Amino acid sequence: MDKLTAFFKNVWFRRAVAALCWGYTAFLIWVAWLCFGFHFELENPTPLFVLYLFVNIAAFGLLIFTRKQVITQVNAYVLPIIAFLILIFGFGKWYITTPPLVVVIVFFFINRSNETLKTVLGTMFLLMYVIGTVGFIAMRMFMGNITFTLDENGSPSISELDLSLRDPDYEKISESGDYRVVRYISKTGDREMVSYYVEDSRGDVKIPMGICKKVAGCRHLHTAVYSGASSDHIRWSTQKVDGKTVDVLYVEGILRENPYLRKKIESSDSSASSSAAD
């Protein structure tokens, strides 16, 4: 028993555990990324939440165990920033945002770092949380539900796409399986409108008991008056371009390029025109 106690008190063992705690930091960065650019579709949310809660509680125990280690003290000042990103990107998904927020806030106050530094950084973090959260809520009040995502060029942007309006019963996969069309049903005045978007399904992330479907960088395709669940304006097809089969769409019966491949198709057409001119 004395040997076991001595082993757990060994400074190098504690340092190794403190380094392992950075795995929790990496995990929260991954969660923040999923909240930023993905739509969650959970097959069985309750067991998944229990697993997620267990991971956070276990990480909290390891952080407490190594709270005197410098590596963990540095971690205590990094985690609040990541938890803030999870709060903003996953706003409204309290089952995702609450566990890490509780862990990070409680640990920040009980870690054994310098009290003066803790007071200064604590004040800065408090202002960040209060101003950031109030500002985000104000943006939602004036702009409606917004989504932080990536634009078509891959740059961070704010989209008015409201993921809560996504039709859970509608999804059309391209023949290659690389893309899908989804739709969002919204109400404008007395009319319901339906907006179609193309998403790159190759970027989806499989998680236990669910899947995170990539929304970041999705392309708007078409907007029309919604006339019922049975109405549909989109269908996939294929087309030969330079001997290769590519996915194309028919929108209201009119052939349209896949927005993800538009530049490639236009580039191919330009090359073909140049060859013909020569």
Closest of 117, 28, 30 to residue 80, by C-alpha: 28
Q: Alpha helices, DSSP H only, in the chain?
A: 2-9, 11-20, 22-37, 45-65, 70-89, 94-110, 115-143, 262-277
Q: Which amino acid is at 145?
A: N
Report yes or no: 21 and 111 within 8 Å, Cβ to Cβ: no
Query: What pLDDT score was predicted for residue 267?
Result: 43
Query: What pLDDT score was predicted for residue 149?
Result: 61
| Rounded-to-integer distance, Cα 269 and Cα 16, Å | 58
Average pLDDT over residues 61-65: 93
pTM as predicted: 0.83
3-state DSSP of 51-112? HHHHHHHHHHHHHHHCCCCHHHHHHHHHHHHHHHHHHHHCCCCHHHHHHHHHHHHHHHHHCC
Query: What pLDDT score was predicted for residue 242?
Result: 79
**Tens of pLDDT along 209-228?**
899 999 888 888 888 888 88
Average pLDDT over residues 226-252: 84
End-to-end CA distance of the chain: 87
Model confidence at 179, pLDDT cuts 50, 70, 90, reads very high
Query: What pLDDT score was predicted for residue 193?
Result: 87
Mean pLDDT over the full length of the chain: 84
**Tens of pLDDT along 100-158?**
999 999 999 888 888 898 899 999 999 999 999 999 888 878 776 666 665 556 566 66
Residues of the chain above pLDDT 70, percent:
86
Domain ranges of the chain: 2-143, 156-277
Tell how strand 219-225 and strand 210-214 pair up: unpaired
Model confidence at 58, pLDDT cuts 50, 70, 90, reads very high
Average pLDDT over residues 7-30: 88
